[in-house]
Amino acid sequence: MSIDLGGKTALVTGSTAGIGFAIAQGLASAGSTVIVNGRSADSVSNAVERLRRAVPDATLVGAAADVTKATDVAELLASHPRVDVLVNNLGVFGAVPALEITDEEWSRYFDTNVLSAVRLIRGYLPGMIDAGWGRVLNIASDSAIVIPAEMIQYGVSKTALLGVSRGFAKAAAGTGVTVNSVIAGPTHTGGVEDFVYELVDRDLPWNEAQVEFMRLHRPQSLIQRLIEPEEIANMVTYLASPLASATTGGALRVDGGYVDSIVP
């Protein structure tokens, strides 16, 4: 199976590290021009340089913007008015006892995990429809389905993102544009390492801490380890390609079997 995204341009939000960086690398390796996004110019510049080393022949564009802000989204759309692939990867998560989640915290999670995606889809989907081809991919989470007791604000925001994906897929019906969610399971990133150490003994070496976290907090995982970001990127790269032309309105799992369901 050969994935060729030559001639396509992809925007990946929150792509300076973690899953977003891996997705940017996967799309660049498949030949896409990749717009690398982060909040600060320095983080974007550093990510672009790392990607150039990883994919020497890549075409990369830096775009510093806080996509949780409508003003920054407007500027991003003005600078890059058309893309073929939009990957809404930006997200925040963190453990907070359910009864201690404030209104402000609920709003922050929805602004970041839901409304940032909605604004960008609203901005880019019309151009994709006019072109008769496009891909929108929203990075969701197993927490959208298995709401974690320690961060229900995160889980609920990701549940909403599944609905956003299905709704916009209907808006793009019959146009050649697909809209899907990717349900990422517990994944090994720097942010997740910090999260793990919020829940297990900080004195444990990382390998032991990871095992303890999975045993205590994610025992449903069938692979019994954290997923590597590249494993999420592989699914995204496929869904961004012409090979996935009949897959739309879906929520596709890269969760290590964490969600206890036979339905994708």
Q: Would you state the pLDDT for residue 191? A: 82
218 domain residue, yes or no: no
115 domain residue, yes or no: yes
Asked if 158 and 139 count as a contact pair (C-beta separation under 8 A), the reply is: no
Instruction: Answer yes or no: 154 catalytic.
Output: yes
Three-class secondary structure of residue 186 per DSSP = coil
Q: Residue 249 is part of which domain span?
A: 9-187+227-254
Q: Would you state the pLDDT for residue 1? A: 81
206 domain residue, yes or no: no
Q: Would you state the pLDDT for residue 230? A: 98
199 domain residue, yes or no: no
Average pLDDT, 10 consecutive residues per value, the chain (264 residues): 96 98 98 98 98 98 98 98 98 95 98 98 98 98 94 98 98 98 94 89 94 92 94 98 98 96 86
Residue 132 C-alpha from the chain's centroid: 24
The model's pTM: 0.95
In degrees, to the nearest 5, what angle opens at C-alpha 58 toward C-alphas 57 and 61?
140
Give the number of domains in the chain.
1
Three-class secondary structure of residue 210 per DSSP = helix
**Closest by alpha carbon to 13, among 23, 5, 3?**
23
Which long-range CB contacts under 8 A does 194-202 form with residues at least 24 apart? 195/93, 195/94, 195/95, 198/94, 198/95, 199/95, 199/150
159 domain residue, yes or no: yes
130 domain residue, yes or no: yes
237 domain residue, yes or no: yes
Q: Which two tokens stand for residue 51?
A: 């990607």
210 domain residue, yes or no: no
Considering the candidates 154, 197, 238, 258, report the single residue annotated as catalytic: 154
Asked if 139 and 117 count as a contact pair (C-beta separation under 8 A), the reply is: no
State the CATH number of the domain containing residue 20.
3.40.50.720
Q: Which two tokens stand for residue 108?
A: 């922050």
